[in-house]
Amino acid sequence: MDKYLLIPLLPLIAFAINIIFGKGIIKERAHWIAILAALGSFIISASTLIEVLNGKIINYDVYSWIVSGNFKVTVGFLIDQLTAIMLIVVTSVSLLVHIYSVGYMHGDPGYYRFFAYLSLFTFSMLMLVMGNNLLQLYFGWEAVGLCSYLLIGFWYEKKSASDAGKKAFIVNRFGDFGFGLGVIMIFLMLGTLHYTDIFAKVGTLTGQTINILGYNVDLITLIALLLFCGAVGKSAQIPLHVWLPDAMEGPTPVSALIHAATMVTAGVFMVARFNPLFSLSEAAMNVVALTGAVTSLFAATIALVQNDIKRIVAYSTVSQLGYMFLACGVGAYGAGIFHLYTHAYFKALLFLGAGSVMHAMAGELDIQKMGGLKKHMPVTYWTFLIASLSIAGIPGLAGFFSKDEILWLAYNHGTVGKIVWLMGTAVAALTAFYSFRIIFLAFHGKFRGTHEQEHHLHESPKVMTIPLIILAIGAISAGWVGIPAALGGSNAIAHFFEPVLGHPHVTAAHEEEFMVMGISVAAAIGGIFISWIFYSLKPEIPKTLAAKFKGIYTTLWNKYYVDELYDFIVVRPTKWIASSILVAVTDRKIIEGIVNGVPGAIRDFGERLRKLQTGHLQHYAVSIAIGLFVILTLVLIAAGR
Amino acid sequence: MVPLNWYIGLSAVIFIIGMVGFIIRRNIIIMLMSVELMLNSVNISLVAFSHYLQDLKGQILVFFIIAVAAAEAAVGLAILVALFKNKAAVHTDEITEMKG
């Protein structure tokens, strides 16, 4: 057995052991197995990264999965620069989330189940990123969807949690439908599902069109958009972003895992993986860039007014994922994946920090009821602050380098690039604002909760704070591999990705780059400054603003009424069809009609038939006599002829 | 010499009397007697044809029928006695247990 196979296999084994023996034998020791598996995967991933850094590309088949005529699918691994980075992101964040969960989930009746699902989640995501063909990607794609359902609805006794689990699963279904069609289209047009073959042949599709409902559609654009459909669902972009904020119903470590390392990054990874295909279609690229930019702005504005700490962080994830798609859309795939990689650390940190706050507040999520937590939980405060600075894009921290790289490459990408750059810069300011809104409301000022809660405040146990500290180191330093040339760095990560993801050629001068950088930094600092004025210096301003712009405020508070819109367009008609057609007609009339009708008819017939059996001998005798008479008559008639 | 037709006519009349008796009477004893009548009407026609055709096979069959009829009467009356012990009734109107 080779070591690459062990990377996904270890979590799978841990899952199997925990799910089978967890309830009876392992119980509270479940975390050892899961953590050891995640640690093993992480170590092997790290050694694989070193091999890839030394120029080794691994691409081989392990097992032939489906063979049917020309249709051959294998389980195989392609580990190149892109996959190597994804492996590190997935396994490291997953490992830290595992460790953190030991403290967070302590005493939960589903303890073993939780670790089993975490392992399965890790396995699914590893299969997704390591696959060397589309079907394996699709397998991982669906498997992470399943795991997200299991984990979001982990506390299934709670109605809102099981609803959120269903919502995540169903919304993802919409995107996956398009993705599935895209996979089928690729197979039909190219006859293969292996990445290397697809990318070798994809050029032959250029200029081909396909007729859909009378319109000639460019084939590559169509395939790219279908695949992007899946990415929109999985990575929570407009219009399928609704599931992600609701996914907060799951345990907080799960949110960290979903938002940082697994699941939502799958969409960005897939678009980056298929960059040879996407790059061939200008239209698809623009759609990707604009979807990303619009989502980014949209989610950031919602995050401005929310009061639920996890929900704010969730919208910030949607917004940052928009950033990544924005990067992919302007051809800066490397920058997109770079942002994915830095984002994983500071976002996991934000979530785990939020979980730590929740832990201290006994489940309270409303930041309006917090305040002054800084002196009670210093580790959580400082790590949360680092993550917020990083996401805001303060120079020197991880988020700055990746965000700057995206904005700079967007700026240099024609008209569409300029538009999305402008939106991205606005988002940078908003991001800084809402991130620091949490800091000022939750950690500074006076405590606004109940007296009981204040008494309960405490720093989380070491098993929770140590992952926070490690992630904080990541949130500071993860970006240092991508220091741009303008700042005296070598942008090592861009060169690392170049063989797989390419790198847009930029000729503009360093002065211009400084200008772009300056604007985004100014936006970030401005955002933090305004946040400081609003929530620390003059806390009455937000209230007067909310009262003054009541319409805008309520729209943002209600998340642009997207959930209500879906309720109106999708949920209610579906429920109506279910209750008044499927239940009332198909079920009650047709199926129950047949099931009850056939025995009913037989019974009715028998009911009539038994009337013949009167019990009077004479009646039988008369029938016999009549029968005899009839037979004799017939015989005589036959004889007479 | 009595012509064959008369025998056939007699046989038919007795058969009809038996059949109608079986149908319209309620008393089981009388109904059994009616069955005897029908059997014997057949016997008459068999004997008549046997004599007319100068063939003894018909008369042999008649003996069989008499034997069967005797057995039938014995079994029928035994059932009747058992029935009367249980139900104290000989009228078919009162015995309708097999009604559906």
Give residue-wise pLDDT tens across range A241-277.
888 888 888 888 888 888 877 788 888 999 998 888 8
pLDDT of residue A546: 80
Closest C-alpha to A57, from A493, A499, A495, A491: A499
Judged on CB neighbours under 10 Å (0-12, 13-18, 19+), A5 is middle
Alpha carbon distance B32, B72 (integer Å): 9
Checking if the pLDDT of A131 tops 70, the result is yes
Mind listing the pLDDT tens digit for each residue in A277-329? 888 888 888 889 999 999 999 899 988 888 888 888 889 989 999 989 988 88
**Sign of torsion, CA A344 A345 A348 A350?**
negative
Instruction: Report ipTM (2 d.p.).
Output: 0.85
Alpha carbon distance B89, A575 (integer Å): 68
Q: Are A162 and A193 in contact (CB under 8 A)?
A: no
More confident residue, A460 or A48: A48
Checking if the pLDDT of B74 tops 90, the result is yes
Q: Which residues does A399 contact at the CB level (< 8 Å), separation at least 6?
A: A342, A343, A346, A389, A390, A391, A392, A393, A475, A479
Mind listing the pLDDT tens digit for each residue in A137-158? 999 989 988 888 888 888 888 8
Q: Is B30 touching A (CB cutoff 8 A)?
A: no
Alpha carbon distance A229, B71 (integer Å): 92
- Structure tokens, A192: 């293969």
Please state which of the ranges A33-37, A451-455, A464-468, B61-65 shows the lowest mean pLDDT: A451-455
pLDDT of residue A500: 81
Tell me how crowded residue B86 is: count the other CB atoms within 10 A of its CB: 9
Alpha carbon distance A361, A372 (integer Å): 12
Q: Say if the Cβ atoms of B100 and A621 lie within 8 Å.
A: no
Nearest Cα of chain B lies from the Cα of A593 at a distance, in angstroms, of 28
Alpha carbon distance A32, A438 (integer Å): 34
Alpha carbon distance A125, A142 (integer Å): 10
Mind listing the pLDDT tens digit for each residue in A492-507? 788 888 888 877 777 7
Mind listing the pLDDT tens digit for each residue in B6-25? 999 999 999 999 999 998 98
Checking if the pLDDT of A599 tops 90, the result is yes
Q: Say if the Cβ atoms of B99 and A614 lie within 8 Å.
A: yes
More confident residue, A182 or A29: A182
Mind listing the pLDDT tens digit for each residue in B75-90? 999 999 998 898 888 8
- The 3-class SS string of A229-281 reads HHHHHHCCCCCCCCHHHHHHHCCHHHHHHHHHHCCHHHHHHHHHHCHHHHCCC
pLDDT band at B100 (very low <50, low <70, confident <90, very high): low
Mean pLDDT (chain A) is 86
Q: Say if the Cβ atoms of B100 and A625 lie within 8 Å.
A: no
* Cis status of the peptide bond prior to A8, with omega within 30 of 0: no
User: What DSSP character marks residue A155?
Assistant: S
pLDDT of residue A261: 73
Please state which of the ranges A175-184, A528-537, A545-554, A595-604 shows the lowest mean pLDDT: A545-554
pTM of the model: 0.80
Residue type for B69, please?
A: A
Mind listing the pLDDT tens digit for each residue in A435-457? 998 888 888 888 887 777 777 78
Report the relative pairing of strands A58-68 and A215-218 from DSSP bridges. Answer: unpaired
- Residues in B touching A612 (Cβ below 8 Å): 100
Candidate from B19, B97, B100 with C-beta closest to A610: B100
Alpha carbon distance A630, A634 (integer Å): 6
Alpha carbon distance A531, A435 (integer Å): 9
Query: Above pLDDT 90, what percent of chain A?
Result: 11
Q: Say if the Cβ atoms of A621 and B26 lie within 8 Å.
A: no
Q: Are A355 and A471 in contact (CB under 8 A)?
A: no
Dihedrals phi, psi of A209, to nearest 5 degrees: -125, 160
Q: Say if the Cβ atoms of A621 and B96 lie within 8 Å.
A: no
For the residues A161-190, what does the mean pLDDT come to? 88
pLDDT of residue A245: 84
pLDDT of residue B15: 93
- Residues in A touching B97 (Cβ below 8 Å): 615
Greatest Cα pair distance, chain A, in angstroms, is 124
Checking if the pLDDT of B44 tops 80, the result is yes
Q: Is A614 touching B (CB cutoff 8 A)?
A: yes
Instruction: Dump the DSSP string for A350-406.
Output: HHHHHHHHHHHTTT--BGGG---GGGT-HHHHHHHHHHHHHHHT-TTSHHHHHHHHH
Nearest Cα of chain A lies from the Cα of B24 at a distance, in angstroms, of 7
Checking if the pLDDT of A17 tops 70, the result is yes
More confident residue, B97 or B49: B49
Alpha carbon distance A513, A484 (integer Å): 10
Residue type for B14, please?
A: I
Q: Which residues does A476 contact at the CB level (< 8 Å), separation at least 6?
A: A386, A390, A396, A397, A398
Mind listing the pLDDT tens digit for each residue in A68-123? 887 788 888 988 888 998 899 899 989 988 988 888 888 888 888 889 999 999 99
Considering A480-484, A490-494, A586-590, B38-42, the range whose residues carry the highest mean pLDDT is: B38-42
Checking if the pLDDT of B52 tops 80, the result is yes
A-to-B residue pairs, Cβ atoms closer than 8 angstroms? 31
More confident residue, A455 or A46: A46
Alpha carbon distance A341, A492 (integer Å): 14
Best of B30, B80, B83, B92 to disrupt the A interface (most A CBs within 10 Å) is: B92
Paired with A60 in beta bridges are: A77
pLDDT of residue A42: 93
- Structure tokens, A620: 């039988």
pLDDT of residue B36: 92
pLDDT band at A1 (very low <50, low <70, confident <90, very high): low
Candidate from B22, B96, B98 with C-beta closest to A621: B22
